[in-house]
Structures are given as C-alpha cells and as structure tokens.
Amino acid sequence: MRTVELSRKTAETDIALKLNLDGNGNAKVDSGNGFFDHMLTLFAKHSKFDLEVACKGDTNVDFHHSAEDIGIVLGEAFKKALGEMKGITRYADTTLPMDEALILTAVDISGRSYLSFNLDIPTEKIGDFDSELIEEFFNAFIRKAEITLHINQLAGTNSHHIAEGAFKSFAVTLKKAVEIQQKFKDEVPSTKGVL
C-alpha cells in the first residue's frame, strides 16, 4: 500500500495529513474553509485516493497560509507515497466537463516541478475563499511533489464550476498517472532509470 502520514507545524498552520494512493476515494477533511473542504473531498473521490486532512490555520488573517501549506504537505505526501515510482504510468491527461466549464489537465511525474496554470476565474472569491489561492495551492503541491502540471480552461463562466472542474480533472489525471502497469511493475518509466 502506498500510504503516508505526515504532519507540519509552523507559526501559521498546524496540519496533519494521511494519504493512500491505493484507496477508495474516502475523505475526511477539515481545512478550516468550507469551499476548500469541498475541493479536497472531491479530489479524493475522483482520484480514488483516501485522504485525511486536519488544518488549524491563522484564518483570522485570511486563508492563504492554510491553502498553501496544505498544498505543501499533500505534495510531500504524494511524492513519498510513490516511493521509487516503479511501474507507474507517469504521464496522463484528462479533459473534464463541469456544466459549462471544460478543463484540461496534463501531468508528468517527472521529478521536475513546473506549473502552467491557465484558469480565468471571473470572481475574486468563491464563497469566502479567495480565487487566487487555487493557483497557490497547485504551486505548493507541484513544488513538493516534483511533477509537471498543466491546467487549461477551455470553456467556463461560473467560478465554482471552473474551480471544481480543475480539481476533478486534476484528480482523474493523477489517478491515471500513478496507476501501476503490471507488465512493467519493476521498471522506473525513464531512460535515466530514476525519476
């Protein structure tokens, strides 16, 4: 089982997280923000990763530190759970419709951190969540996970649908990328021999 349990405590946040890449999509999330709880819960559901997150953050300031630090811990857990990455599919992409929104994500579990983020979210807030923090979360995740991630909005006008489409598309893409190819289960998918 590719399972990791991590914690991280700073002056701004106190986070405990469990991640199982070979789960059933179960989630227990308390990020401190209802909208972000919703995004992380549907991320778990559609990736089929089991995810538990508990975050106590300085939300009296705003939600920036919590969103970023959850991305950091989740990215670190993701990388650790993959281990040597033997047999993983490595590359994957998904074009996912969410009502009028259409989001394409593509990933390379490459050992190289790169984010191309092209969402045009029309409102500054979704509920009480700052829309710009979606990019902050993904940036934090890819830095620690050491993956290349492209997120492209092909259509969409509703902020909630665009954000939800992005998290769902990301989830489905990661699910495909971490899938073990049994025929190559002892091989690292790289000519270098390591990722």
Print pLDDT tens along the chain (195 aa): 799 999 999 999 999 999 999 999 999 999 999 999 999 999 999 999 999 999 999 998 899 999 999 999 999 999 999 998 889 999 999 999 999 999 999 999 999 999 999 999 999 999 999 999 999 999 999 999 999 999 999 999 999 999 999 999 999 999 999 999 888 877 877 767 666
Residue 44 host element (H or E): helix 34-47
192 assigned to some structural domain: no
Is residue 154 included in any domain, yes or no?
Answer: yes
Give, in order, the Cα–Cα distances in Å from 140 to each of 71, 98, 146, 149, 183. 5, 24, 10, 12, 33
Q: State the pLDDT at residue 54.
A: 98
Total domains present in the chain: 1
Residue-level pLDDT at 1 = 78
Residue 190 lies in a domain: no
Which token pair is 82? 């993959």
Range list of H helices, the chain:
34-47, 64-82, 133-145, 159-178
CATH of the domain at 76: 3.30.230.40
Instruction: Please check whether residue 195 lies inside any domain of the structure.
Output: no
- According to the model, what pLDDT value does residue 150 have? 98
Is 35 inside a domain boundary?
A: yes
Range of the domain at 126: 3-184
Both tokens assigned to 102: 């259409």
Cβ pair 179, 90 in contact under 8 A: no
CB 25, CB 118: distance < 8 Å: no
Asked whether residue 158 is assigned to any structural domain, the reply reads: yes
Q: What is the pLDDT of residue 160?
A: 98
Asked, for residue 83, whether it belongs to a domain, the answer is: yes
Residue 57 within a domain? yes
